[in-house]
Structure formats: C-alpha cells, structure tokens
Chain A
Amino acid sequence: MTYFEFLNEHGVTLLLGTVTTIKVLVCSMILYVIISMIFGLMRLSKNRAIQGIATVYIEFFRGTSLLVQLFWAYYVLPFFGISLEAFTAGVVALGLNFGAYGAEIVRAGILAVPKGQWEAAHALNFTPAKRIKRIIIPQIFPIILPPAANLTVELLKATALVALVTVVDLTFEAKQINSITWLSAQCFGTALLIYYIIARFALVPFLRWLEVLAARKVGKERI
C-alpha cells in the first residue's frame, strides 16, 4: 500500500482527529491563561491565606504528572459523584496543570516591571485598579509572552495525552488506525507531521505575532 493510498483511505479520519486536537488546544489555552492570571496575582497577594492557597495549588499541579492528573479527573472524580465527559476532563486537567506553570510566569512578569512604574502610578494618584490595568498589565505582556509561547507549544504536545482518556483526537485516531491496519510508520509518522505543522506553521507564528503586538503597544519595536 503506497502512502497516497493510505492518505486516501485514512486522511479524513486523521483530519477529523486534528480538528478535535485543535479544539482541545484552544479550550485548554483559554482556561490556562485565565487560571495563570488569577493565581499569578494571588501568589503576589499580601494576604497570607490567599498566597498560601495559590502556592499549594501551584506546587501540587507542578509536582505531579499530567497523566496522573488526567486519569484522576476522568476515573477518580466519579467516585466523588462528579462525572466529567472525557473532553471536559481533558481540558480541565490540561488547564489546571498548565495554569500552575503559567502562574509562575505571570508572577515573574509582574515582579519584572520596574518599581518606579508602580511608584509613578502612585504619585499620579491612580486608583489600584487603574494602576494594574493601565500601567502594569500593558508592560507585563512583552515580558511574559516569550516564556508563555514556549509553554503553549508544550501544551500542544500535552494535548496528545487526552487520547488516553478516550478523547477522539489525532493521537487516538492514529492509534486506532494503527491497530486496524498495522501501518505504524504511516499513521504515527503522519500524526507526528501534523503536530509539527500545527506547531511550526500555525501556533508559533501566531504567538510571535502576539509578541510583536505586545511590544509595539509599549513602544518597543523589538524582534
């Protein structure tokens, strides 16, 4: 069977899997960005309790394996009466796991904004909300986007794991086709290529574009 015949027969299935992978990626991306913002700010709170909650959350999710968290969300939560659909469980586990890593990036980004900026905003009598929104947040984006971009590529790779909790994504389809046809090189090779293409020609250019946009916003014509 030539490679073209293989694509002819299984290409559509793989493409459908790719669509699911992209769905998982987008959903968990949105979730992890929100979570990292919230917990990154909580880490910097002066309130000991809030800071403590954020630290425990971050250490817990960074300390255990994503796969364990995924299986926990899918197979153990039903014990507690919470039955999540495979897709939801996957997105939630990915979002929580990467949110913990992202929170550390956000925290470092906020700390990297020069102190003079806070003081100047203070001196100009801005309200705390306005200080964060108008002065600090626009400045943290150019700092946090490069590490966040790396993390997002890691997220794309991690989405492959949701196949193991029965989400029918690209990895799942590749495995399925492999078990029917035993054309391992073709189906896993194609899957690898698709992930590579998504990362190299869609995700990374998009993240670079965001970086340029953020840099331009604060008047830095970088990159």
Chain B
Amino acid sequence: MQMGWRWDFTFEILPQMAIATLNTILAAGVGYAIALIVGLFFLLGQKTPFKIVNWINREIVEFIRSTPLLIQLFFVYFVLPQFGITLSAWVCGMITIGLHFGTYLSEVYRGALEGVPKSQWEACRALNFSTIYTYRRIVLPQAFPIAIPGMGNYLVGIFKDTPLLSTIGVAELFHAATAVGGYNYRYLEPYTLVGIIFLTLSIPAAMWVRKLENDVNKAQGKIKK
C-alpha cells in the first residue's frame, strides 16, 4: 500500500464527497428548522403560568441537555421500533437533533426575551396595549436582534454535529468518507477531505455570526464605533 498523500485518489473521491456535502447541509438545515420550532415549544412550557408544567418542562430540558446526543440518537433509532414506530434513519436523526438543540434554542429565546427592558412592558401596560400586541409590535422586534448571535452559533453547532448521524446510517459527508475509506482501505484522504470541507464551510459561517453579533451590539449601543 502506498503511503503518503495520493492526489489521484483524492480527485477520484471528490465528486462523491461533494454530493455527500449537500446531504450534510440539508441535514443541518432541516435539523435547525425543527430545532427552532421545538425551542418555541420549550419556551412556551417555561412561560405558562402552571407551576407543574414549568417544572416538568425544566426537568426535560435539563435531562436532554446533560445527556449525549449520540445516545439520544441510538435511543430514538432503536427504541421507537419496539413500540411499533419504524422511522427511517433520516427522520430519526432530524427528530433527535431538533429535540436536542431545541432545548438550547429555548434558552436563547428566553435570554433574548429577558434582554428586553422591563420598562418596555410597563410602558405598554400604561398605553393599554394587549399582551399579544405588546409581544408583536414592541417586545419581539427588540428581542429578535438579541437572539440572533445565539441562534447563529447553534446553526454552526448543528452543522458540526451532523457527522454523528453517520452512526445510525444517514448518508451524509462523514458516512460517505467512512464508506469510501473502508472500500479502498485508505482513510487518509477521505477523513482529511471531510476536515477541509468542514473548515471551509464553518469558518465563514462562524465569522458571519461574529459579524452579526458585532452589528447587534453596535445597534444596541454596547460598542461605540
């Protein structure tokens, strides 16, 4: 077996890796969309006036946040069929990522809502606005910019956690690399390519999030420039 980097092999597997990259991006996008919505539900559970719902909600969030995503994936993938629910690896992966990161996003939402000064609420009360109107026109427009950096960070976070999906057989980038590597018994190029592809996608994304964060801080007058 030839040691060292082989360019011909690299170019041979490149098209396959490129297609798998699209799958990774798709998985990250769909997972993120689900997480955004799930986060809203967890937020709702936190905000309801029923103490028992708050408590249950908090325990669930705490549990999901302190257990590994990998085992959660296995749990959903292997346990649901025992109850007669057979879902494809893709669906299982998306559900699990959505649930896992939904708990994180609910914290982002909560932080953003708490970032809106209380006086805004009091002013709306004084103006006799309804709660819904207050949320829609006063609170949410102010909370949203605060939430953007956190939301962006978790988009990058989900993207970097998609390789875990390969463990249940979702055909994303890492899965393709392992398959190609196993077939040719060369892991150097596939795994290195995966690393490079991740770098070229996530560094610009992270820079963009950082820029957003700066813009938001500037707009709020936290940084003078």
Q: Which A residues form the contact surface with B (CB < 8 A)?
A: 59-60, 62-69, 71-72, 75-76, 79, 153, 156-161, 163-164, 171, 174-175, 178, 184-185, 188-189, 191-192, 195-196, 199-200, 204
What is the chain B residue whose CB lies nearest that of A159?
A: B68
> Which A residues are CB-close (under 8 A) to B70?
160-161, 163-164, 171
**Contact across chains for A185 and B79 when beta carbons are under 8 A apart:** yes
Please list 11 pairs of residues, one from A and one from B, whose beta carbons are closer than 8 Å in the complex, sorted by A's number: A67-B164, A75-B181, A79-B187, A156-B68, A159-B68, A160-B68, A171-B71, A178-B78, A185-B75, A192-B71, A199-B67
Q: Which residue of B lies closest to A183 (CB)?
A: B82
- The A-B contact count (CB < 8 A) is 111
Comparing B8-16, B31-39, B111-119, B195-203, the segment that makes contact with chain A is B195-203
Bound CA–CA A161/B167 (angstroms): 10
Given contacts A64-B202, A76-B191, A195-B68, 16 further A-B contacts (CB under 8 A): A63-B203, A64-B195, A67-B163, A71-B178, A75-B187, A157-B66, A159-B68, A164-B70, A175-B74, A184-B79, A188-B79, A192-B63, A192-B71, A199-B66, A200-B62, A200-B66
Residue of B nearest to A199 (CB): B66
- Given A67-B174, A76-B188, A188-B78: A60 and B66 within 8 A (CB)? no
Say yes or no for B142: interface residue by CB 8 A criterion.
no
State whether B74 touches A178 (Cβ < 8 A).
Answer: yes
Contacts of A188 in B (CB 8 A): 71, 74-75, 78-79
Residue B3 at the chain A interface, CB threshold 8 Å: yes
Question: Distance in Å from the Cβ of A126 to the closest Cβ of chain B?
Answer: 31
| Cβ of B58 under 8 Å from chain A | no
The answer to whether A196 and B75 touch (CB under 8 A), given A75-B187, A76-B187, A157-B69, is no
Contact status B199-A60, CB under 8 Å: yes
B23 within 8 A of A: no
With A62-B206, A68-B163 known as contacts, the answer to whether A196 contacts B68 (CB < 8 A) is no
Contacting pair A68 B79 (CB below 8 A): no
Assess whether B110 is interfacial by the CB under 8 Å rule: no
Q: Could you tell me the distance between the alpha carbons of A30 and B164 in the complex, rounded to whole angstroms?
A: 25
Report the bound CA distance from A179 to B160 in whole Å: 28
Contacts of A156 in B (CB 8 A): 66, 68
